[in-house]
Structure 1
Amino acid sequence: MTDNNVQIEGGQVLANLEERTISGRLIPFNEEGRTNQGRFTVEPGTVDISEATADPSFLGINTDHIPWQNVGRGMRVWEQADGVYASWSIVRTPAGDAALQDAISPAGKRKRLSAEFGPVVIRAGKLVAGHARLWGSALVPAGAFAGAMVLAADTPDPEPIQTPDPAPAVAEPTGGNTMPEPLAPVAAPAVDPAPVLAPPAPVPVAINGLPAAVVTEPPGVVADDSRQVLAALASLRTNPRDADAMQVLAAIADITMSGTNTLPGANTLRPNWLGKLYQGIPYVREYAQLCNLGTEISAAGKLGMKVVRGTAASPLGPQDGTWVGNKQPINGYRGDSSTVGSLLYRFAVGNDIDRSLYDLPGGWEVVQEFLQLIIEDYLFWSDRLARETILAAAGAPVAAKTYPAIYTTNGTTALGMLIQGILAVRKRKADGRRDQPTFAILNDLAFEQIAYAVGGDQNLPAFITLALSALNVPQSEIGQLGNVIAVNGDNGIIGTPSVTVGSKMGIDFDELAGGPLVIDAIDLARGGIDKATHGYFQTFTKRPESFVTIGTADAWAATTAVVTGQYMKNGAATLQALNAGTTGAAAPTNPAVGANVTDGTVTWKRLA
């Protein structure tokens, strides 16, 4: 799902267990909702539902907006005055059964519908027609609209219950204790003469219609039964200082959960086992998907060529080919070519696991969760390589320009840096070619400034367009900016705001289709099962000119931990860390541009 698509909660659902269907209002009209794209309202006709109405099976339904958790397909999609409605057929799978039971249960969690459509264009708090199309739906725990509609169930009216006239009151004999008179049996409905089974009557029994038998206690004996205890409890609720009630309760023996007079013995009470607990959001790659992520990986890697005017070191832009004619010499210039290859990185983690954890119930759950952590390690490892490749392509940071007061007065210099980076990528390079900016990586300080500057619910690309208009930059210079995705990440500068802007097509990242491989082997001699996870990540930088970092490198500091790709300023030189480590006690001697120098456990490359 892209950042320009929307998830919008529509309403509660009607579920039919026998027919395995779910129906409800998917998109409410003219109600403000809080969506992942901010607050706005949807008016009739602004969301294109033609595909879903033409073939309702096009509209799938999942849980929690997770695409691979699909639980059904559309049966009917239609529009009414108050919104877009739909019905789905739930698949006959464990996940579908769970979703259906969840929808019909009074204590169910996912009883709301949520639409998926985009791209969205918002103006004056309303969705603009002609852009968004409906393409998905989901069952979610909570909706965003207070007026979400619930469809009425088409079920027969319940049979009326006929209640007999109350029996005439029977005078209670005076004196002594009496047993309560049992209730008269309830008459069955006239349409169904089936007999009504009554519970066994208490002993002694009071025959209906006759005075109840009088039961007296022996002289001097007071009945200390449950009625006295309950009456005492009721008295204490209304009058906590009722001495008579306290005397009744004083005779009760104490039973406690722990300490003196405890009832539960050791290990009698068991905790409610919850299994794996919530441990935060699992790692999601932040950098790899910013470039061209694919599966074109091979043992020999990728190799390609570049052809330029002039030389590879000093390429030329388009040349003037004007010729005067009349047998005069024609123009000519030389060309050059070079090859560019990919880099391959390998990942491997293995464990020899006691097979008892596989053979006995309860052990596999722990092993499986641990193996998921290794997969997460691969995602983090490959994403770190993607980040380092992007920063290496960006090269030395470019100093921020002096921006108009519209940015500096509000402390939003990061927005000016973002625009500067976008224009730098769009600018014609030495070979006369432009590049299309598609993403920006903002460090924590810059991202915080952007978050405050855009006003939360406003659309960030639209806000950037307004800022460019205020700068009076000619449209011919701006060109088509496209959809630039701004993400929060580490771009090598920590102490001050900085922005890295790049083009998706400038770098290829490739990995095995389906992710890393999990290899199993049996260790018969020692009763173990070996599991190893192998992954491969290939990087291919095709056009480093399409990446730029705007900002100021941090000053070099002694005994400081740095990460790969981090920039530091050592005197007049700009250095970039080639590995993670700790700087030494004294500043290193700056090498020549392009050369490396060792500093503590860090190897620096001089960029400028």
Structure 2
Amino acid sequence: APPAQPAPAAPPAPAAPAAPIPFAAAPASLTASAARIPRTLSNVLDTLHAVRGGSPDLTAALADITRSANPWVSPDGWVGELWSGLSFQREIVPLLTHAPLAHWQITGWRWVNKPTVGDYAGDKAEVHTNLPTTESVSVEAARLAGAHDIDRKFFDFNDAEFIRAYFAAMTESYAMQSDAKAAAFVLASATAAGDAPDLLRAVARGARSVKQKSRAKATYALVNDVDMESLLDFTKLDVPEFLGLLGIEPDKFVQTSQVPAGTVIVGAKPAATFYELGGSPIRVETVNLAHGGRDAGVFGYYATLLHNANGIAKVTYTPPVTA
């Protein structure tokens, strides 16, 4: 016979309902300010208007967060090195013959009295003769240099922009200094060629002197930069049409503050040479271990050689009075 089945279990009795949680009662001493609670539509509109307009009564309790008190939270926009003018380009050195400097001293020679010829009668008569003489000329190279002890962090963190800007500024300084040296050399080498009544005639007289004494055509004219303004005083009727024949073409004029006012320097390019060591200015770097730095700088070498003083003329004139 099959085993007897157990009787089904009785269903659980329903749980008794939970007792309601009573609301907390406010202490009798706690009261609300009726003036702070808008009670009408007019009160609500007045409150919204005050919030929108920034009522001092509503914002006085807020703490200020200003940009000036927290400048580090939004850094300024970085634009790098600022523009400080175009890089300087040499103006005087290109006017002279340029040659590489191969030795610290340059030696050459030139004629003091050149050999000459003369009339000859023939028939075994004595021919013309003279006493030629020469002289030795030597110049020693001069130097231009500058250096600084730079914190090595600029190199360790590869601050390429600063390093590039530093050497660019040093190279520009070398260009300015070497050009000033060339101008001083030309000015000191010029031969006096008289006076003239104005700027144009001063240049013409200087070009004539160069042509007569060295048989070379003038290739440049150095004029004081303020005196150049006197060219504005000349009208078209005052300027002759044959300026080129007088050697005073406008493209030969180079204005520079190195030349004193009332002075014009007219020269021929072959009359002088500006020697310069290749690669100048030479970039040099070395480690300054004791001070955690890196010494950086530039070195340049140059020499100026005058071939013929007659190829550079100096003419003075009375410059006009400027307002």
Match of 1:547 among 299, 312, 322: 312
Match of 1:276 among 81, 95, 98: 81
Is 1:533 the equivalent of 2:304?
no
Letter of the 1:436 counterpart: K
Q: Residues 548, 348 of structure 1: CA spacing in aligned structure 2 closer, same or farther, 3 A cutoff? A: same
> Structure 2: how far apart are the matches of 1:451 and 1:338?
46
> Structure 2: how far apart are the matches of 1:261 and 1:316?
92
Query: 1:401: which partner in 2?
Result: 196
Query: 1:444: which partner in 2?
Result: 225
> Which of structures 1 and 2 has the bigger CA Rg?
2
Shift of the alpha carbon at 1:534? 1.0
> Structure 1: how far apart are the matches of 2:218 and 2:248?
7
Secondary structure of 1:551's partner? strand
> Structure 2: how far apart are the matches of 1:423 and 1:261?
80
Equivalenced residues, count: 270
Shift of the alpha carbon at 1:481? 7.4
Query: 1:561: which partner in 2?
Result: none
Query: 2:202: which partner in 1?
Result: 417
Query: 1:329: which partner in 2?
Result: 126
Secondary structure of 1:424's partner? helix
Identity %: 21
Query: 1:390: which partner in 2?
Result: 186
Shift of the alpha carbon at 1:464? 6.7
Shift of the alpha carbon at 1:541? 1.0
Q: Residues 451, 286 of structure 1: CA spacing in aligned structure 2 closer, same or farther, 3 A cutoff? A: farther
> Structure 2: how far apart are the matches of 1:465 and 1:513?
44
Correspondences of 1:44-443 after superposition (within 5 Å): 248=49, 251-253=52-54, 264=67, 266-267=70-71, 268-294=73-99, 296-307=100-111, 312=112, 315=113, 319=117, 321-360=118-157, 363-395=159-191, 397-402=192-197, 413-427=198-212, 429=213, 433-443=214-224
TM-score by length of 2: 0.70
Letter of the 1:540 counterpart: L
Unpaired segments ≥5 residues, structure 2: 1-39, 57-62
> Structure 2: how far apart are the matches of 1:552 and 1:250?
80
Query: 1:52: which partner in 2?
Result: none
Shift of the alpha carbon at 1:465? 6.2
Shift of the alpha carbon at 1:336? 1.3
> Structure 1: how far apart are the matches of 2:241 and 2:43?
89
Shift of the alpha carbon at 1:523? 2.7
Secondary structure of 1:302's partner? strand
Q: Residues 451, 330 of structure 1: CA spacing in aligned structure 2 closer, same or farther, 3 A cutoff? A: same
Shift of the alpha carbon at 1:368? 3.5
Query: 2:270: which partner in 1?
Result: 505
> Structure 1: how far apart are the matches of 2:51 and 2:315?
79
Shift of the alpha carbon at 1:316? 6.5
Q: Residues 273, 355 of structure 1: CA spacing in aligned structure 2 closer, same or farther, 3 A cutoff? A: same
Q: Residues 468, 301 of structure 1: CA spacing in aligned structure 2 closer, same or farther, 3 A cutoff? A: same
Secondary structure of 2:299's partner? strand
**Cα displacement string for residues 183-205 of structure 1 (whole angstroms, at most 9, x for unaligned residues):** xxxxxxxxxxxxxxxxxxxxxxx
Letter of the 2:165 counterpart: E
Assess if the C-alpha contact under 8 Å between 1:438 and 1:482 holds in 2.
no
**Cα displacement string for residues 448-477 of structure 1 (whole angstroms, at most 9, x for unaligned residues):** 11255488xxxxxxx9761549xxxxx7xx
Letter of the 2:130 counterpart: Y
> Structure 1: how far apart are the matches of 2:224 and 2:277?
30
Assess if the C-alpha contact under 8 Å between 2:200 and 2:248 holds in 1.
no
Q: Residues 347, 552 of structure 1: CA spacing in aligned structure 2 closer, same or farther, 3 A cutoff? A: same
Shift of the alpha carbon at 1:542? 0.8
**Does 531-540 or 347-356 show the bigger shift?**
347-356
Letter of the 1:515 counterpart: S
> Structure 1: how far apart are the matches of 2:209 and 2:89?
29
Shift of the alpha carbon at 1:317? 8.7
Q: Residues 223, 284 of structure 1: CA spacing in aligned structure 2 closer, same or farther, 3 A cutoff? A: farther
Shift of the alpha carbon at 1:488? 0.7
Assess if the C-alpha contact under 8 Å between 1:287 and 1:386 holds in 2.
yes
Q: Residues 493, 482 of structure 1: CA spacing in aligned structure 2 closer, same or farther, 3 A cutoff? A: closer
> Structure 2: how far apart are the matches of 1:522 and 1:445?
47
Q: Residues 517, 398 of structure 1: CA spacing in aligned structure 2 closer, same or farther, 3 A cutoff? A: same
> Structure 2: how far apart are the matches of 1:512 and 1:454?
46
Query: 1:488: which partner in 2?
Result: 255
Letter of the 1:531 counterpart: A
> Structure 1: how far apart are the matches of 2:129 and 2:116?
12
Shift of the alpha carbon at 1:261? 5.2
> Structure 2: how far apart are the matches of 1:289 and 1:355?
38
Assess if the C-alpha contact under 8 Å between 1:438 and 1:484 holds in 2.
no
Assess if the C-alpha contact under 8 Å between 2:271 and 2:307 holds in 1.
yes
Match of 1:523 among 267, 273, 288: 288
Assess if the C-alpha contact under 8 Å between 1:491 and 1:498 holds in 2.
no
Shift of the alpha carbon at 1:266? 1.1
Assess if the C-alpha contact under 8 Å between 2:274 and 2:305 holds in 1.
yes
Q: Residues 508, 446 of structure 1: CA spacing in aligned structure 2 closer, same or farther, 3 A cutoff? A: same
Letter of the 1:528 counterpart: G
Q: Residues 334, 498 of structure 1: CA spacing in aligned structure 2 closer, same or farther, 3 A cutoff? A: same
Assess if the C-alpha contact under 8 Å between 1:438 and 1:483 holds in 2.
no
Q: Residues 270, 481 of structure 1: CA spacing in aligned structure 2 closer, same or farther, 3 A cutoff? A: closer
Shift of the alpha carbon at 1:532? 2.6
Shift of the alpha carbon at 1:269? 4.0
Secondary structure of 2:105's partner? coil
Q: Residues 300, 273 of structure 1: CA spacing in aligned structure 2 closer, same or farther, 3 A cutoff? A: closer
> Structure 2: how far apart are the matches of 1:484 and 1:364?
40
Query: 1:560: which partner in 2?
Result: none
Q: Residues 251, 543 of structure 1: CA spacing in aligned structure 2 closer, same or farther, 3 A cutoff? A: same
Letter of the 2:209 counterpart: A
Is 1:466 the equivalent of 2:241?
yes
TM-score by length of 1: 0.39
Assess if the C-alpha contact under 8 Å between 2:115 and 2:132 holds in 1.
no
Q: Residues 553, 522 of structure 1: CA spacing in aligned structure 2 closer, same or farther, 3 A cutoff? A: farther
Assess if the C-alpha contact under 8 Å between 2:199 and 2:317 holds in 1.
no
> Structure 1: how far apart are the matches of 2:186 and 2:55?
71
